[in-house]
A and B are shown apart, each in its own frame.
Chain A
Amino acid sequence: MNPRRKKRLLTIIALLFGLSSAVALTLYALQENINLFYTPSELINGKGPELEKPSVGQKLRIGGMVVPGSVKRDENSLFVEFKLIDSGPMVTIRYKGILPDLFREGQGIVAQGTLIESDVIEAFEVLAKHDEEYMPEEVAEAVKGIKHQKPTYNNNGY
């Protein structure tokens, strides 16, 4: 083999090695960090054609509307508990911390956390978007069946 070819071969081997290890690491990291999105009724009744239900201990994201009158705060700490609903059953969210500026009863929110009982989630993050009329797209889709609603000009902006 002439030196030029040898160098090329080495380069290709190095490339393949780097590429495959990168792909392996990436897939591994991806598998660990993909969070599925559920709505309260999907969580209880199952999601998709096979009605898959998440298992206790799984990390997930859930989106729905905060049930009016369900927000219970602890007197002495920042612990808060509330219920989320879409079209069917309700799910309880527990969270300790400061809620976002736009958290309100009747508002659509998204929570991220761990399923600790079949209908209870311990959230480490609660998100609400900075817009009064806003409902997270995923929630809007799940609750109202709206898909890719084209924003009218009034609604445009943020």
Chain B
Amino acid sequence: MIPELGYFSLTLAMVLCVLLFIFPMWGAHTGNLRLMRAAPSLAVGQFIFVLLSFAALIYASLTDDFTVAYVAHHSSSTLPWYYKITSTWGGHEGAILLWLVMQAGWTAAVALMSKSLPWPLRARVLGVLGFLAVGFMLYTLLMSSPFDRLLPYYPVEGRDLNPLLQDPGMIIHPPLLYMGYVGLSVSFAFAIAALLTGQLDNLWAKWSRPWTMAAWGFLTLGITIGSWWAYAELGWGGWWFWDPVENASLMPWLVATALLHSLAVTEKRGIFKSWTVLLAIAAFSLSLLGTFIVRSGIIVSVHAFASDPDRGMFILAFLAIVVGGGLTLYALRAGHVSSEGRYSLFSREVALWLNNILLVVATLIVLLGTLLPMIHKELGLGSISIGEPFFNQMFTYLIVPFALLLGAAPLLRWKQNKLKQVAGKYGLGVIIALVLTAAWLFSSFAKVSAITFMATALALWIMVMSAQDLLQKTAQAQSIKRLGLSYWAMQLGHIGLALVIMSVALTSAYSTERDVRVVPGEQVALGGYDFRFDGVKVIRGPNYTGHAGVVTVFKQGEQETVLHAEKRRYDIGMQFMTEAAVDAGLSRDLYLALGEQLTGGAWSLRIYHKPFVRVMWLGGILIALAGFIVLFDRRYRRRNPKEAQA
């Protein structure tokens, strides 16, 4: 009964969404205020019904209702309760329902927090969001309902959740990523609404900015957690595979990053307007493209968890409507937008413009590398794969100008600068970055390659320039307190990126690994540590059995820690899973994965020593934080309409 109520509830939500699309759009078109005023209540109403529907699925999963096909395929009675909850988004149908919950949540949030917007704009933003929700709800109800029953013959036990997904990282990774993907629909809705109303000014940019920042923050956090999950769970010690699914999340992130920089220019200077709108359309389109790639099964990927070509076609059609519609509207309206601001070549405007160009180029590279194998195959030219080196090489080329620019740009003023004013600071920055890099790397590592040196120097250059900028700004503002949260967010985001660059450079250059064959009592040395294999013991979990390899780690004869690297065999489906043991630290991770049992009591064991790998996720979290603290900036908490105008 409950699952049927869930389905019914979703149907009601869709009816409300249809109204949410029609009423405010028509109202805004005819100037009917009463119709426009209906939008916020409709938005909140559909959120409540979607939430009820989601609760029904969670209930079915928690009560082991295996008559529900989705629960039978993605859960089991022995699964711990928290994984029963997360199993509701471990499969395709549930994941799309989660997407709907997020979509409905963002829509309700916009409805409640946009009181200061003029009605025509507010109504249209909500109308566009309503339209998008209708598309996804139609898809869920018609093609991918998680509430379908397996009656009258239903299994007594479920097929269990994919062991790969039985991990804490997986509890939070999809919701965060979806918050980001779907959040970009708000930026998209603002862009479309602005094109419809013709109000493309800095006030519009100011309203759209906090939403974009929030969505971008979630996306950043989602990608960071995803990388950490892949590292901890896939057992290969890698943190980024340039896998199509990862690329699908990276592309909207790159464009959203460009978008929020461009929004800053539009808000502050009233220029780049149509470019900003185009980026907003592109960012959400890439989110949809990502969903298409992941869900259509067109690409073989290590984690394409569910795939079905028919569903892919629906998403492709929806993508075509959204992208095509958005771009057509853009073509019709953007030509009328005029920019009046003037600026010289050596100015902050140009620096941010270059930032945008580099980010867009990076996106195109990822797009090319992701889609080319697909196209190649569909044209009947055979299967190809584009290896990681392609992406690594291209991103290495791009990060150099990007990081140089990133360090230099914050010191530039709007409109116009004289080189004399900043040349001294740049010179000092270069010298400090080079000296620090040389002192650090040559004292810590035996061998320093040119590329490692360069990347580390770039990271330090960003940090040094951020510090210089902070000193200068504090001197001007007289007090640190007067700088405003937006400024701190910028600093935090930039330092976060510097940490990521540094971590990637060092961990790529200095990680060491060994695959060894060990018998109990044998010792292996790696990265200044000694690993003693003490044998294996049998383990038993709630829904798996397996072996744990016990390894004692020594540093210069002193015991450092004892690690248990597990090889699990899940009862249902008999899947094997390597559960790596990680001794985490800021300066290095020790990572152990147990291989297979060999002859003569021996086991294969993979050992990694990964310096500074954790700094990367720390950097990612800092970048995400930047997106969130902006929301608390006084400028965006506009209770007082006068303040909003200021």
Contact = CB atoms under 8 A, between A and B. Distances in A.
Interface of A: 7, 10, 15, 18, 22, 25-26, 29-30, 32-37, 47-48, 61, 73, 75-78, 96-99, 101-102, 127, 129-132, 136-138, 148, 150-151, 153, 156-158
B382 A37 contact: yes
A131 B575 CA distance: 7
B385 A35 contact: yes
B467 interface: no
A112 to B, nearest CB: 8
B164 interface: yes
Interface in B345-394: 345, 357, 361, 365, 368-369, 372, 382-387, 389-390, 393-394
Interface in B583-619: 593, 595-596, 598-600, 604-606
A33 B386 CA distance: 6
Nearest to B159: A157
Contacts of A129: 302
A156 B357 contact: no
A47 B382 contact: yes
Contact of B163 (A76, A127, A130): A130
Contacts of B604: 78, 98
B394 A101 contact: no
A102 B162 contact: no
Contact of B309 (A26, A101, A148): A148
11 contacts: A29-B393, A33-B390, A35-B385, A37-B382, A78-B515, A101-B567, A102-B576, A138-B300, A156-B308, A157-B305, A158-B164
A25 B389 CA distance: 13
Name the residue among B163, B300, B382 with the largest chain A CB count within 10 angstroms: B382
A156 B92 contact: yes
B74 A157 contact: yes
A33 B385 CA distance: 8
Contact of B310 (A48, A98, A150): A150
Contacts of A76: 517
Contacts of A25: 394, 397
Contacts of A47: 382
A10 B353 CA distance: 14
A36 B386 contact: no
B202 interface: no
Interface string B81-115: 00000000001100000000000000000000000
A150 B384 contact: no
Contact of B596 (A26, A48, A99): A99
Interface residues of B, number: 56
B397 A130 contact: no
Contact of B384 (A15, A36, A48): A36
B607 to A, nearest CB: 11
Interface in B377-421: 382-387, 389-390, 393-394, 397
B595 A36 contact: no
A107 B393 CA distance: 34
B574 interface: yes
A101 B576 contact: yes
A83 B503 CA distance: 40
Contacts of B517: 76-78
Given A37-B382, A130-B163, A157-B306, A26 B394 contact: yes
Contacts of B382: 36-37, 47-48
B390 A29 contact: yes
Nearest to B162: A158
A130 B515 contact: no
Given A37-B384, A130-B575, A132-B574, A98 B595 contact: yes
A119 B606 CA distance: 29
Given A18-B357, A34-B386, A153-B73, A130 B310 contact: no
Interface in B152-188: 159, 162-164
B556 to A, nearest CB: 28
B462 to A, nearest CB: 22
A14 to B, nearest CB: 9
A20 B604 CA distance: 49
Contacts of A97: 515, 606
Interface string B69-82: 10001100000000
A129 B243 CA distance: 14
The 4 A-B pairs with the shortest beta carbon distances in the complex, nearest first, are: A37-B383, A33-B390, A98-B595, A101-B576
Nearest to B605: A98
Contacts of A75: 599-600
B573 interface: yes
Contact of A22 (B162, B297, B345, B361): B361
B384 A157 contact: no
A101 B577 contact: yes
A78 B517 CA distance: 6
A130 B308 contact: no
B300 A26 contact: no
B599 to A, nearest CB: 7
B386 A30 contact: yes
Contacts of A18: 357, 361
A78 B598 CA distance: 9
B516 interface: yes
B390 A98 contact: no
B201 to A, nearest CB: 22
A156 B306 contact: yes
Contacts of A32: 389-390, 393
A151 to B, nearest CB: 6
Contacts of B302: 127, 129
B578 interface: yes
Contacts of A156: 73, 91-92, 306, 308
A150 B309 contact: yes
Nearest to A27: B368
Contacts of A153: 69, 73
Contacts of B567: 101
B307 interface: yes
Contacts of B598: 73
A130 B162 contact: yes
B361 to A, nearest CB: 5
A34 B384 contact: yes
Contacts of B397: 25
B634 to A, nearest CB: 36
B578 A157 contact: no
A158 B308 CA distance: 11
Given A18-B357, A99-B595, A78 B516 contact: yes
A101 B578 contact: yes
Nearest to B574: A132
B308 A151 contact: yes
Nearest to A52: B382
Contact of A157 (B73, B383, B605, B606): B73
Contacts of A26: 365, 368, 394
